[in-house]
């Protein structure tokens, strides 16, 4: 598996995740061992970008024969490569990075290279897709979450450490994060002795229309 970095300059994590669903739905499809993450790209214009594990064949890409080998970047309309991927997504401003290839405006291509590197090293990234994610629905025990998915560890925020038998109400929305090589799910007390992922599926908008 190699890692594809995708940076469309998304202003929110949610927008980046929406783009990820498009990438997976329209271009890449399902693969049981796939990881796909959102990342925050810092700098003067902080934004969200994506990383996805891919097989070279999925993209019509050719593994470089040697690091830095030229010739993999193809023009829009060609049969494969990053340009073709960009074309298929139809996004005007898109940065892509795969191995040593870069595509798109330099700042976005750099963001894509950053996210690809982060997932390749398993150092950061908020995982939207990971092995076993489809099994994390309803209420499960901590033991079940660890056994059924790639989640390596569960940490409790705002409460005592979890035991293997503690219940986790997944709310069908589980977004663990890479922390130094381990996929960690932050959970928090959710009332009634049940834990739930710290990240809620639909957080209140910053200027919510309550009425």
Partner 1 sequence: MGHHHPHGHGHGHHSHDEASIEPSQVLDSEIPDSELAPADVSRRSLLRGAGLLGAGAAASVLGSATTPAPAAAAPDTSGVARKGGYLWLAGDHHIHTQYSPDGVYRVIDQVRHANAYGLDWMVITDHGTVQHAKIGVEKVNPDIRNARDEIRDTLVFQGLEWNIPGAEHGTVFVHPGKNEVGVLRQFENDYDGTVKNAKEGTPANEALAIAGLNFLADAVRRKQVEDAMFFANHPARQGIDSPHEIRGWRDAAPRIALGFEGAPGHQAAGLPKPLGPGSGRGSYNASPGTQSFPGYPLESYRTWGGFDWMTATVGGLWDSLLAEGKPWWITANSDCHSVYADTATRGPGSDFNNNGFYNDPVYGGAINTGNNDYWPGFYSRTNVGSSAATYAAVMAGLRAGRVWVDHGRLINGIDAQVRPSSGGPGVTLGGVLQVKRGTKVQLDVTVDLATTPNWAQFVAKLARVDVIQGDVTGSVKDRDTLTAPNTKVVKSYEVTAGKTSLRFTYDLGAVDGPVYLRLRGTDGNRSAAGYHGADVDPHGPGMDVVGDADPWIDLWFYTNPIWVLTQ
| Residues in touch with partner 1 (CB under 8 A) | 10-13, 40, 42, 44-48, 157-159, 186, 188-192, 196, 198-200, 203-204, 206-211
Q: Which is nearer to partner 1, 75 or 209 (CB)?
A: 209
Q: Where are the beta strands (DSSP E) in the chain?
A: 2-10, 36-41, 47-54, 95-98, 101-103, 126-129, 139-141, 153-156, 167-169, 177-179, 182-189, 195-197
CA distances from 76 to 103, 130, 182 (A): 10, 30, 37
- Closest separation between CB of residue 6 and partner 1, Å? 15
CB of 185 to partner 1, least distance (A): 12
Least Å distance, CB 166 to partner 1, is: 15
* 85 vs 145, beta carbon nearer partner 1: 145
Give which of 111, 100, 22 is closest to 62, Cα–Cα. Answer: 100
Q: Minimal distance in Å, beta carbon 17 to partner 1?
A: 12
> With 0-12 CB in 10 A as exposed, 13-18 as middle and 19+ as buried, what is 27?
middle
Residues 6+ apart with CB under 8 A from 21: none
Beta partners for 178?
A: 183
Nearer to partner 1, 78 or 121 (CB): 121
Q: Of the two residues 126 and 143, which places its CB atom closer to partner 1 in the complex?
A: 126
Shortest reach from residue 208's CB to partner 1, in Å: 6
Q: What does the DSSP 8-state code read for residue 78?
A: S
Q: Which is nearer to partner 1, 163 or 204 (CB)?
A: 204
The position carrying tokens 């993450």 is: 37
Nearer to partner 1, 10 or 99 (CB): 10
CB of 11 to partner 1, least distance (A): 6
């Amino acid at each position: 598996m190699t890692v594809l970095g995708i940076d469309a300059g998304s202003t929110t994590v949610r927008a980046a995740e929406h783009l990820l669903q498009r990438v997976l739905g329209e271009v890449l499809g399902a693969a049981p061992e796939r990881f796909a993450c959102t990342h925050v790209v810092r700098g003067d214009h902080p934004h969200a970008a994506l990383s996805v594990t891919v097989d070279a064949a999925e993209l019509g890409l050719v593994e470089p024969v040697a690091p830095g080998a030229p010739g993999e970047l193809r023009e829009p309309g060609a049969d494969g490569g990053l340009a073709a991927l960009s074309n298929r997504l139809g996004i005007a401003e898109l940065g892509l990075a795969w191995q040593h290839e870069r595509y798109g405006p330099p700042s976005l291509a750099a963001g894509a290279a950053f996210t690809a590197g982060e997932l390749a090293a398993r150092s950061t990234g908020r995982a939207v897709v990971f092995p076993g994610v489809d099994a994390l629905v309803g209420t499960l025990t901590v033991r079940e979450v660890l056994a059924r998915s790639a989640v390596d560890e569960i940490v409790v925020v705002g409460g005592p450490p979890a035991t293997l038998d503690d219940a986790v109400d997944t709310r069908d929305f589980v977004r663990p994060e890479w922390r130094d090589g381990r996929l960690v799910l932050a959970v928090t007390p959710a009332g009634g002795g049940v834990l739930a992922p710290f990240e809620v599926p639909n957080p209140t908008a910053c200027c919510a229309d309550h009425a």
